[in-house]
A and B are shown apart, each in its own frame.
Chain A
Amino acid sequence: MSSEEETQQSLPYKVHKSTLKWAPVFNMTILLSIAIISCLIRVFSVIRYESIIHEFDPWFNYRTTQYLVKEGPYALWNWYDSESWYPLGRSVGGTVYPGLMMTSGMIYWVLHKLSIPIDIRNVCVFLAPIFSAFTSLAAYGMTKEITKRSEAGLLSALFVAIVPSYMSRSVAGSYDNEGVSIFALVFTFYTFLKTVNTGSILWGVYTALAFFYMVASWGGYAFIINIIPIFVLFLLITGRSNSRIQVAYNVFYILGTLLAMQIPFVGFQALHSSEHMASHAVFILINFLNFFSWIRNFVSKKAIITLTKFLIVFLVFSILVGVVILTLAGKTQWSGRSLTLLDPTYAKKYIPIIASVSEHQATTWSSFFFDLHYLILFSPVGLYYCYNKPTETKIFGALYTVLGVYFASVMVRLLLVLAPAVSIMAGIGISWAFRKFAKSVRSFILPKIEKPKKYRIPPEISIIGLVILGYYCSIYVLHANFAGSEAYASPSIILSSRDRQGNRNIIDDYREAYYWLRMNTRPDDKIMSWWDYGYQITGMSNRTVLVDNNTWNNTHIATVGMAMASSEEDAFEICEKLDVDYVLVIFGGILNYSGDDINKFLWMVRIGGGVYPHIKEEDYYGKGTYRVDQYATETMTNSLMYRLSYYRFDEVQTAYGQPKGYDTVRQAVIGVKGYKLRHFEEAFTSENWIVRIFKRKQRENRDGVAFTSKSTSQFTIPKEFSPVTKFSKKANTKQRSTLNFQNNE
């Protein structure tokens, strides 16, 4: 036996050999476990609470899915929903991304065909966790296309599977578009990179199909339709373009745009909206360059120069003219949300309704770190790796990450788009570091196989490095676990608190109130609330609402804002005009629940004031700040929102050592006590006062008739005499704010 054979027989070599042999099996097993983990970590919400649809938008998706399952796809397409946006209604089929509903509908139908009688609610609840498993598989594929290495793919898959940012939108019950569309996003990129690598038209078709699914499920598809042209343009400018890129882009662009037009909500926007302009321009450019290089074969060099000059002038001129004409004619325009992306201060200045949504705020560092954790430290390593030895796919990964970082810093919700990019980059970076360290350790243990290089890292440092990286990775896993089980598990319609003994108390006011509405009001009653609760009311109470989370009509929302911000008398007129039967307000003053309507009230004032200028924000500031105590302004304390929220609040003691009527959220004693409501009556208040429902009374029998005459007032009035009505001449002659209802369609 030679010495070489001997070393081959020693244990480390044996281990090494069999590891290599079994590597694909390990690979698959690990990938499968990652997929399972990504599913399981999202089920904490069901374990801690119950199988229920979360938050706001998911309630609409759930209701739509129920409709789809009951009535079929054509009915959904033509569904005109008269229960929302009363009296405007909403044409659901044309204003919805049906991908999510169709997906769960398909699962439901297939399972029922297989005689598995699953409830549609459970399909909806568990859809996002299942798709997160697919996402981790797609991330594995995408990373593999970028680096051609499966260990990087595995790490990326793990990071994507448990990244808290993605988890926040895909826990069980979070039945939202993002749940399936992040998978579609990553999968589209995977297939696109595959096309770029292979130059295969077939994979290009797959890309277009994946893109179609993305368009069908989320408005965030605009990200794909912009980043791929940017990527292609980048390659064109840097001179890296080749025929594979041309195939990939042309197939993707033509089929993708055609398919996108099939979604009713997108339709011809795929041609004329500004979000798509980049894709058209790059398509023209790439084919023009192709054509130009083909012409070059036939023309002399001198002619080429003149031709180039002419063509450049012609192209620039025609593009300029085209853009100017389209913009002036209003054929193409940026949507408010897209403009906010380009100019982060845009919404704050012009569209309060976009600025009022918390997920449209600029991202803070704390949420960056909480949602991505150590990945933001690791991903620059991956970026460095990508820029170090660039290939087309690496450039794509790097571009995706850089653009994602920009978008994520503008809007909190776009952290979601960044999360896969950062995870993949971190996976690439860490696996690269691991590989470097492992190589040096391996060459130390197996000197014969690994040929030593010049700048090898010493094995001691490698081991320390491995330990440190491993430690950080495990910290990340622990953090993700915490985020999944605690931070993002709450359905937000069920609240929980811990008492001093550490017991969890479930606060179920929302469902209590919505169920009350469902059982105690007439089926065609109209409920007015701030738009946040619209989807929940239609979903859980099955009652008509005036405005909901699909904020398509600013004027209508402003009218509701005006009603909330007006005095009771004026609000009654508005409510009567809008046929409002009940007014629902959320009040957290007893339970210290800070997400209540008094805290949102300034947005109602701003949005209302944006359309009805007689509502002025400064009228609601007492002594320069927004307050509810004795220094609150008269406009504030007279507003319907204040009156309804604090009705009979002064009769309860909320905090020890504080007088009655102490608001625990605003930490102040309310300014107006003991008032009565004239046009509204309390219909329902939930256990912890979180939801308060008031019924609009009928107009009084002699409203506007009674008055006090001079001849009567000249009489000496006996003290015990009580006035018949509250009306006085002054109150009657007071100029009512002129209501100007518009139907902004």
Chain B
Amino acid sequence: MIKFLILILGVVLAGTPYNQKKVLVLSDNPAVYVSHSQFFNLLSKSYRVDYKNIQSNTFNLQLFGEWQYDHLVLFSTTNDLKVSTQELLDFYDSGRNILLLGSTDQSKYFRKFLNSFGLDMHDYGSSVVDYFNNIKGNQNIVTTNNVNILKVDKPVAHQGAGLTMTPYETFQVYGLVRGSETAFSGPNLSHNIIYVGATQGRNNARFVATGSWEILSDEFVNDSNLGNFELAQEIIRWGFGQSKILKAENLIHRRLDSDDIKPYNYRLREDCYFSIDIYEWDYQKDQWVPYNSTDNDVILEFVMLDPYYRLPLKKGEGSKYELSFKIPDVYGVFQFKINYLKPGYTFLKIAEKITVRPFRHDEYGRYLVQAFPYYFSSFGTMAGFVVFLIAFLLNK
């Protein structure tokens, strides 16, 4: 039966266009096709899905230095992968995405793997309990409304282990789905229980981990009272880099009163205009659309060692973010810097170097009002000298 399913899947896959992105699904139990059929349906809508047994040697993540897949879905098990964690991390660090469906009894291999993304699985065998937010009084099937970044309206059900985040400050790790206030798991209290956690690398590769397989299983996904279907959709979209993708281009800076784009240098105290186009990827229209930042949070820094300015860019027409300001009274090599680290979105790190030069010798005022006594005294001395000369010569 299972072999037959795989065969059908293979036939289906063979028909998909080659340039579609490839997803490798690794599990030691082919039954996931049955238990997670909805999830696989969603996946195969937009990706070529390749299923391999975790223990098999028949797949290569990397062949001749080329990565063979674009995304990876891991069903964690008690067994270890044949592939080393370092290779998986290299896969991720090369800008590819990983989705890990965890389980309470997963091996140390997967726990370590989670750790290197700043996430941690609760203790072995422990699962989340919630006496208030659950389904049909079963305290092990917990629900929560606490979904961040992803767009899920209905409560999400979860069964199994929870995750915790790294205790250290970092902007790269998020809890996508967090436990409700009444959830607990062994010693872990509600505020740090995460059902679905995520990590975004500096290269914007995304990693999503769930506490258990069940959160994406058909049992929950098919339940129309629950938001798990939307969650599965959103996890695939966000985790595999379709939604909340930003790009910035067309950086322009110029003197406010000139059209000369990106001049060789600026003089201090000049008025300067800066603009940049920021787009967001719209997966429905399949094209880039202007990005609308909600609350003036695109900040431009004007930096030389320290920021001299830290100003929010104003939303202009279309995708334009713009600002004009006066260059400070300091010369040096400055940088326009945008460091846009909005949770869930692609990190935008933009730096543009410019030189701010001091006044040229002929740019100072020629006659200063406060210097008139000096002018008067010097010309007076000259005149006096002439008078003296004449008097001196005539008297002889």
Is A712 touching B203 in the complex (CB atoms < 8 A)? no
Q: B334 at interface (Cβ–Cβ under 8 A)?
A: yes
B residues near A704, Cβ cutoff 8 Å: 168, 170, 172
Identify A89's interface contact among B111, B118, B173, B333, CB under 8 A.
B333
Number of cross-chain contacts by CB at 8 Å = 122
**Beta-carbon contacts under 8 Å, B79-116 to A:** 84-86, 89, 92-93, 108, 111-113, 115-116
B residues near A524, Cβ cutoff 8 Å: 353
Is A91 touching B358 in the complex (CB atoms < 8 A)? yes
**Beta-carbon contacts under 8 Å, A698-735 to B:** 698-709, 711-712, 715, 717, 721-725, 732-733
Is B199 touching A705 in the complex (CB atoms < 8 A)? yes
Q: Mark B327-350, 1 if CB is under 8 A from A, else 0.
A: 000111111000000000000000
Q: How far is the CA of A699 from the CA of B93 in the complex (A)?
A: 12
Is B123 touching A711 in the complex (CB atoms < 8 A)? yes
Is B355 touching A80 in the complex (CB atoms < 8 A)? yes
Q: A622 at interface (Cβ–Cβ under 8 A)?
A: no
Q: A82 at interface (Cβ–Cβ under 8 A)?
A: yes
The residue in A577, A724, A725, A743 that gathers the most chain B C-beta atoms within 10 A of its C-beta is A724
Identify B305's interface contact among A78, A707, A743, CB under 8 A.
A743
B residues near A709, Cβ cutoff 8 Å: 111, 115, 120, 164
Q: How far is the CA of A89 from the CA of B334 in the complex (A)?
A: 10
B residues near A579, Cβ cutoff 8 Å: 335
Is B357 touching A741 in the complex (CB atoms < 8 A)? no
Is B201 touching A701 in the complex (CB atoms < 8 A)? yes
Q: What is the minimal beta-carbon distance from B296 to any residue of chain A, in angstroms?
A: 27
Q: B366 at interface (Cβ–Cβ under 8 A)?
A: no
Q: A701-B201, A711-B122 are in contact. Are A89 and B331 (CB under 8 A)?
A: yes
Is B116 touching A702 in the complex (CB atoms < 8 A)? yes
Is A707 touching B115 in the complex (CB atoms < 8 A)? yes
Is A80 touching B117 in the complex (CB atoms < 8 A)? no
Q: B259 at interface (Cβ–Cβ under 8 A)?
A: no
The residue in A89, A698, A722, A745 that gathers the most chain B C-beta atoms within 10 A of its C-beta is A89
Is A87 touching B111 in the complex (CB atoms < 8 A)? no
Is A89 touching B361 in the complex (CB atoms < 8 A)? no
Q: A265 at interface (Cβ–Cβ under 8 A)?
A: no
Q: B205 at interface (Cβ–Cβ under 8 A)?
A: yes
B residues near A351, Cβ cutoff 8 Å: none
Q: What is the minimal beta-carbon distance from A730 to any residue of chain B, in angstroms?
A: 12
Is B172 touching A80 in the complex (CB atoms < 8 A)? no
Is B166 touching A705 in the complex (CB atoms < 8 A)? yes
Q: B306 at interface (Cβ–Cβ under 8 A)?
A: yes
Is A707 touching B166 in the complex (CB atoms < 8 A)? yes
Identify A743's interface contact among B111, B118, B306, CB under 8 A.
B306
The residue in B112, B166, B330, B360 that gathers the most chain A C-beta atoms within 10 A of its C-beta is B112
Is B304 touching A724 in the complex (CB atoms < 8 A)? no
Q: A631 at interface (Cβ–Cβ under 8 A)?
A: no
Identify A702's interface contact among B201, B306, B330, CB under 8 A.
B201
Is B93 touching A702 in the complex (CB atoms < 8 A)? yes
Q: How far is the CA of A82 from the CA of B86 in the complex (A)?
A: 42
Identify A724's interface contact among B86, B122, B201, B305, CB under 8 A.
B86
Is B331 touching A741 in the complex (CB atoms < 8 A)? no
B residues near A264, Cβ cutoff 8 Å: 361
**Beta-carbon contacts under 8 Å, A245-264 to B:** 264
Q: A699-B202, A706-B115 are in contact. Are A88 and B304 (CB under 8 A)?
A: yes
Interface size range on A against B: 35 or more
Is A715 touching B166 in the complex (CB atoms < 8 A)? no
Q: B124 at interface (Cβ–Cβ under 8 A)?
A: yes
The residue in A74, A82, A721 that gathers the most chain B C-beta atoms within 10 A of its C-beta is A82
Q: What is the minimal beta-carbon distance from B356 to any residue of chain A, in angstroms?
A: 8
Q: B16 at interface (Cβ–Cβ under 8 A)?
A: no
Q: How far is the CA of A712 from the CA of B119 in the complex (A)?
A: 11
Is A87 touching B115 in the complex (CB atoms < 8 A)? no
A residues near B111, Cβ cutoff 8 Å: 709, 711-712, 715
The residue in B115, B170, B331 that gathers the most chain A C-beta atoms within 10 A of its C-beta is B115
Is A87 touching B334 in the complex (CB atoms < 8 A)? yes
Q: How far is the CA of A138 from the CA of B298 in the complex (A)?
A: 68
Q: How far is the CA of A138 from the CA of B86 in the complex (A)?
A: 75
Is A80 touching B330 in the complex (CB atoms < 8 A)? no
Q: How far is the CA of A80 from the CA of B355 in the complex (A)?
A: 9
Closest to B88 in A: A724
Q: How far is the CA of A732 from the CA of B332 in the complex (A)?
A: 35
Q: A77 at interface (Cβ–Cβ under 8 A)?
A: yes
Is B85 touching A724 in the complex (CB atoms < 8 A)? yes
The residue in A699, A701, A717 that gathers the most chain B C-beta atoms within 10 A of its C-beta is A701
Q: How far is the CA of A577 from the CA of B337 in the complex (A)?
A: 13
Is B334 touching A707 in the complex (CB atoms < 8 A)? no
Q: How far is the CA of A733 from the CA of B168 in the complex (A)?
A: 8
B residues near A77, Cβ cutoff 8 Å: 361
B residues near A134, Cβ cutoff 8 Å: none
Is A87 touching B361 in the complex (CB atoms < 8 A)? no
Q: A206 at interface (Cβ–Cβ under 8 A)?
A: no
Q: A60 at interface (Cβ–Cβ under 8 A)?
A: no
Is B86 touching A705 in the complex (CB atoms < 8 A)? no
**Beta-carbon contacts under 8 Å, B293-325 to A:** 304-306
Closest to B353 in A: A524
Q: Mark B202-224, 1 if CB is under 8 A from A, else 0.
A: 11010000000000000000000
Is B265 touching A80 in the complex (CB atoms < 8 A)? yes
Identify B108's interface contact among A80, A91, A715, A722, CB under 8 A.
A715
Q: How far is the CA of A615 from the CA of B330 in the complex (A)?
A: 30
Q: B276 at interface (Cβ–Cβ under 8 A)?
A: no
Which 10 pairs between the two chains have the least Cβ-Cβ distance?
Answer: A80-B357, A705-B118, A87-B333, A709-B120, A706-B116, A701-B201, A82-B355, A701-B93, A78-B360, A724-B116
**Complex A-B: 27 CB contacts under 8 Å:** A77-B361, A78-B357, A80-B355, A82-B333, A87-B305, A87-B332, A88-B305, A88-B332, A89-B333, A89-B357, A91-B331, A91-B357, A94-B358, A578-B305, A702-B93, A704-B168, A704-B172, A705-B118, A705-B173, A706-B118, A706-B166, A709-B164, A721-B108, A724-B86, A732-B168, A741-B305, A743-B306
Which A residues fall within an 8 A CB radius of B?
A: 74, 77-78, 80, 82, 86-89, 91, 93-94, 264, 524, 577-579, 698-709, 711-712, 715, 717, 721-725, 732-733, 741, 743, 745
- Supply 9 further A-B pairs (C-beta < 8 A) apart from A89-B355, A577-B305, A741-B306: A80-B265, A87-B304, A89-B331, A700-B202, A705-B166, A711-B121, A712-B115, A715-B111, A721-B112
